[in-house]
Amino acid sequence: MKNIIVLVSGGGTNLQALIDAEKSGIIRDGRITCVISSNPSAYALERAANNGIKTRVLPRKEYSDSVSYSHAVLDALNEEKADLIVLAGFMTILDECVTKAYPYRIINVHPALIPSFCGEGFYGLKVHEAALTYGVKYSGATVHFVNEKADAGAIILQKPVEVKRSDTPEVLQKRIMEQAEWKILPEAVSLFCQDRIEIIDGKAFIKE
């Protein structure tokens, strides 16, 4: 059974999708053992507490830079004996001290089809604003491994979602969450926990 540590910063709907998937047996061979938040008032912390999951708060504001913050996160991950780390709406880019300590063991959900609308500065509603400004007809979500470059690690799963003419960033965000993120994130976590993701030449493939 793998220890899954979920890192959050906000509402935690992706965390909720993971909790629900664990309860319904969609996630096999893994359990969420700790939720770590960069934001003391994140609603995600309540979701974890309501489900009896241990929480830790590491406020980003209390650290002067990304490197010192990342070392604090790394210490917490080591203490929690993390097998898999899931960034579920975690709004801080982690320094390479974390990504190098956990190669191919950190996954992130991004609310667009990478390599579109991703990288530094593309997070939350900004991603959907950019997709609407460009005028794409499909956007979607991507689950990928985290490496030293923002949103550039090996892609595990992607799901396209239609963009409608009347969409606002908020409406598009909600449709992408419901139709893509909340489905492919638990699926990828389950595949990881069952050792069904293999890496060949830096790319991720699903073992049948």
Taking the least distance from each CB to ligand GAR, the nearer of 11 and 76 is 11
**Among 84, 157, 177, 180, interactor with ligand GAR by CB under 6 A:** 177
Alpha helices (runs of H) in 32-101, residue ranges in sequence order: 43-50, 66-79, 96-101
Pick the piece of the chain touching ligand GAR (CB under 6 A) from 6-14, 48-56, 69-77, 160-168. 6-14
**Residues in 70-89 at the binding interface with ligand GAR, rule: CB under 6 A:** 88-89
Q: How many C-beta neighbours within 10 Å does residue 166 have?
A: 5
Q: Does 140 bind ligand GAR (CB under 6 A)?
A: no
**Among 7, 10, 95, 155, interactor with ligand GAR by CB under 6 A:** 10
Q: How far is CA 25 from CA 42, 50, 88, 185, in A?
A: 26, 19, 19, 14
User: Mask of contacts with ligand GAR, 51-70, x by CB under 6 A?
Assistant: --------------------
End-to-end CA distance of the chain: 20
Amino acid at 178: E
Residue 206: strand pairing partners:
197
Give the orientation angle of helix 13-23 with respect to helix 182-193, to 10 degrees.
50
Taking the least distance from each CB to ligand GAR, the nearer of 124 and 160 is 124
Please count the residues of this chain forming the interface with ligand GAR, following the rule CB under 6 A. 16
Question: Least CB distance from residue 201 to ligand GAR, whole Å?
Answer: 25
Return the half-sphere exposure (C-beta side, CA atoms, 13 A cut-off) of residue 111.
30
Q: Between β-strands 84-87 and 106-110, what pairing exists: parallel, antiparallel or unpaired? A: parallel
Taking the least distance from each CB to ligand GAR, the nearer of 59 and 78 is 59
User: Mask of contacts with ligand GAR, 117-136, x by CB under 6 A?
Assistant: ------xx--x---------
Q: Which of 71, 110, 128, 144 is catalytic?
A: 110
Cα–Cα dist 6/9, whole Å: 10
Contact at 8 Å (CB) between 200 and 207? no
Q: Does 153 bind ligand GAR (CB under 6 A)?
A: no
Q: Give the active site residues.
A: 110
- Which parts of this chain interact with ligand GAR (CB under 6 A)? 10-14, 44, 88-89, 109-111, 123-124, 127, 177, 181
